[in-house]
Every structure is written in structure tokens, then in C-alpha cells.
Amino acid sequence: MGSEKDTYKIQKFNSMNFSFWRMQMEDYLYQKDLYLPIVEKPKDMSDEEWVVKHKPRDMTDAQWMVLDQKALGAI
């Protein structure tokens, strides 16, 4: 069996391909159920308000932090 690296290749980010890279990265994070932390926060909303609004109610703060770190690690 192939590794995860073999099954999904994302073009490396450079100054010329941000839009394409972003689309690929978002697709990858959705595929891995790591998309919740990357939802864009409105500029007029505080970090605390955004977390309250987007964090699932059955998820603890610790679980949210782990999910956030996994998403960052994938990026």
C-alpha cells in the first residue's frame, strides 16, 4: 500500500501559485476533516467570538486546540 504522501500531492507554494496552492490545501484539509480551524474569520469579530461560533458544541477547548494544531501541521 502507498503512503499518504503517494496518494495526495500538493504543489509547493511559491510566489506565483498562491491561488492554486490554496485551493489544493483547502481540498486536502477537507478530505482529512481538518477544515474547521481554517474557516476565515470576519475582520470585525474577535478571536474568542470566532472560536465560540465555529467550534462544535460537543468539542472541548483541548480538542479544538489539537484540531487546530493538526491543520497547521498539515499546511
* Residue 68 near residue 37 (C-beta atoms within 8 A): yes
Q: What is the pTM of this model?
A: 0.65
DSSP state, residue 75: -
Domain positions in the chain are 14-74
SS3 content of the chain, % helix, strand, coil (to 5): 55, 0, 45
Which tens digits make up the pLDDT trace of 10-68? 778 888 888 888 888 888 888 888 888 887 778 898 888 887 888 888 989 899 889 88
Provide the pLDDT for residue 7: 61
For residue 11, which of 3, 70, 22, 2 has the smallest C-alpha distance?
A: 22
